[in-house]
Amino acid sequence: MVAMVKFIFGIHNHQPLGNFGWVFESAYERSYRPFMEALEDYPSMKVAVHYSGPLLEWLVENRPEHIDLLKSLVRKGQLEIVVAGFYEPVLAAIPKEDRIEQVRLLKDFAKKLGYEARGVWLTERVWQPELVKSLRQAGIEYVIVDDYHFMSAGLPKESLYWPYYTEDGGEVITVFPIDERLRYLIPFRPVGKTLDYLHSLDDGDESKVAVFHDDGEKFGVWPGTYEWVHEKGWLREFFDAVSSDDRIDLTLYSEYLKHFKPRGLVYLPIASYFEMSEWSLPAKQAKLFVEFVEELKRENKFDRYRVFVRGGIWKNFFFKYPESNYMHKRMLMVSKLVRDNPEARRFLLRAQCNDAYWHGVFGGIYLPHLRRAVWENIIRANSFVSTGSFVRDIDFDGRDEVFLENENFYAVFKPAYGGALFEFSSKRKAVNYNDVLARRWEHYHEVPESATPEDESGEGVASIHELGKRIPEDIKRELAYDDHMRAILQDHFFGRDVGLNDYYLSNYTELGDFLTGAYDFSIFEGGITLERDGIVSGSPARVAKSFRLTDNGFIVDYTVRSEAKALFGVELNLAVHSVMESPGEFEADSFEVKDPYGIGGLKIELDRKARVWKYPIKTLSQSESGWDFIQQGVSYTLLFPLEGELRFRLVFEEL
């Protein structure tokens, strides 16, 4: 009798809510379509597959023939459908009621494909123990996580070729470990290397199983993979070899569990895959983490001690990016408000799509169109209920926000942070005018070399985790970092010798303490008055601003007093994403901002002329394709000479 090792092969296909149609189209043509068409040609090949809800909705509307192909493959027994939250939320980051609803929505879709799904692909493999209860309540029997989760719990690698039970509060679920070695071999190395590895696992134990389950985009979308996987024939060679190898028993999760029990009980800590523990750390700590890992590898100690090497957890992104935290906490706020409103909940569930809330090797939070989609759905869900005005710590930073609402807008101030407007959302347009990300230093800005590759033979195609990246010189010239978050109605005091270029590149000094200082406030119907007494160049200064919502926007009256000779500036950071701007300067008492594919049109009016500085807020991030130097918004700063008292009115009008 020939010895055999069991092998589960799975893929996860996902496109974020709000991604461009051409991206869906390209991913479909380069990965999803050719993969499934190849699978159809190998009837003895079996695959566990997860499609996310946003991708399924696009396929239903644009490529219904692909849905028919999936149904056919299910009928033939070649596909096992594995679900997740429909709109691909990180389940650990949303309320339990929403988790259950999200999973059940995708289970219902799987039924339309002809499959009764019992397994969950855990989005970004973000695990926390309390998920057991939610998943069991949603009718889930098994979950797929990484072997890193198990190693973080103290299990040695050699014990991770079997599923286990895990328990929380008396509820039990099966957890399958994904083999990290297979994640780096498939599809980047020649097929023979995967076969050799699988053969090496065979020790006569028929219950032993190796699991590969990873992004479907690796099979055609990632750099270099379309040529390697499809044009050079890697995928068909792989299907042919794996499905015909008499030493490999190709199986599915459900088939395995029909014949074997999990090996025992484990308790997994809060964890994700190993790379996530680097990405989720604050930038300075992430740089140290990379240095530490590389040092261990140079000393040939990493494989021995890596089970004890742990970085951050996924929820650290809410600490790392305050903009993500605020967006997330607004989503949680709306989730409570619309719990009993089915019509509003569909928007709310869309707003939980994970991609815009974090950043790793993909663009994530740095992609404005993904954030815009989340904000659109938060606003649309919120508009089904009236919240009125209130004072509360919305984002749990220990400081109260002031929430104002009228028929057409939401306005949220942070009195403790410059008395600035950190959300100004239009119900009519479903846009947040202040959806602007600050310019931050990321650890990979100073880690130009790639991580140590898993295989230095040069065969195959490089994984995006192995690509070295150096910042181009033209980007370096424009690169600047902020030491504060960006908002609307931020108050600056400059020396009169400061110029636009200094301001744009953050090469200037604030003369006052108003930009991030705390303001006193009082609320009146439809508005708020904010006041601060501070110091400008050693002299006392006072800023008072009275803000009120209107049907078309807002009006704010400023009174500024200081004997210091300075420029007073009011900065408006606006989420202009589709019109690329350059730094510029002009004088005006009114001007329009037009962003036809983003926030639309708006008009700023003043009761006197002002000098206006404008510049694009551009961030440097990494993605699977390389460097992304992206316009996150445009800063418009209204400048007034100050010596004594200054009064002016600013009107924001939505067009």
The C-alpha atoms of residue 459 and residue 162 are separated, in whole angstroms, by 30
Phi and psi at 9, nearest 5°, equal -115, 120
Tokens for 473, please give them.
């010189």
Do 558 and 567 touch, CB atoms closer than 8 A? no
Residues in the chain, how many? 655
The residues, ordered by sequence, that sit 6+ positions from 361 with a Cβ below 8 Å of its Cβ are 275, 279, 464, 465, 622, 623, 624
Q: Is the dihedral of CA 206, 212, 213, 217 positive or negative?
A: negative
Alpha-carbon torsion, ordered 403, 409, 414, 418, to 10 deg: -150
Please provide the DSSP assignment of 313-344 as one string.
-GGGHHHH-HHHHHHHHHHHHHHHHTTT-HHH
Task: Give me the active site residues, please.
Answer: 124, 215
Please provide the DSSP assignment of 230-292 as one string.
IIS-HHHHHHHHHHH-TTEEEE-HHHHHHH-----B--PPSB--HHHHHHTS-HHHHHHHHHH
The C-alpha atoms of residue 46 and residue 77 are separated, in whole angstroms, by 7
Bridge partners of residue 10, in order along the sequence: 48, 213
Bridge partners of residue 175, in order along the sequence: 143, 164
Alpha-carbon torsion, ordered 263, 266, 269, 272, to 10 deg: 10
Rg over alpha carbons for the chain, rounded to the nearest Å, is 27
The Cβ of residue 52 has, within 10 Å, a number of other Cβ atoms equal to 25
Q: Is the dihedral of CA 186, 187, 189, 190 positive or negative?
A: positive
Q: Of the candidates 288, 279, 632, which has an alpha carbon nearest to the alpha carbon of residue 446?
A: 288
Phi and psi at 253, nearest 5°, equal -55, -50
The rounded Cα 15 to chain-centroid distance in angstroms is 12
Tokens for 384, please give them.
């089904």
Report helix, strand or coil for 470. coil
The H or E element spanning position 197 is helix 191-200
The C-alpha atoms of residue 562 and residue 542 are separated, in whole angstroms, by 7
Please provide the DSSP assignment of 46-104 as one string.
-EEEEE-HHHHHHHHHH-HHHHHHHHHHHHTT-EEE-B--TT---GGGS-HHHHHHHHH
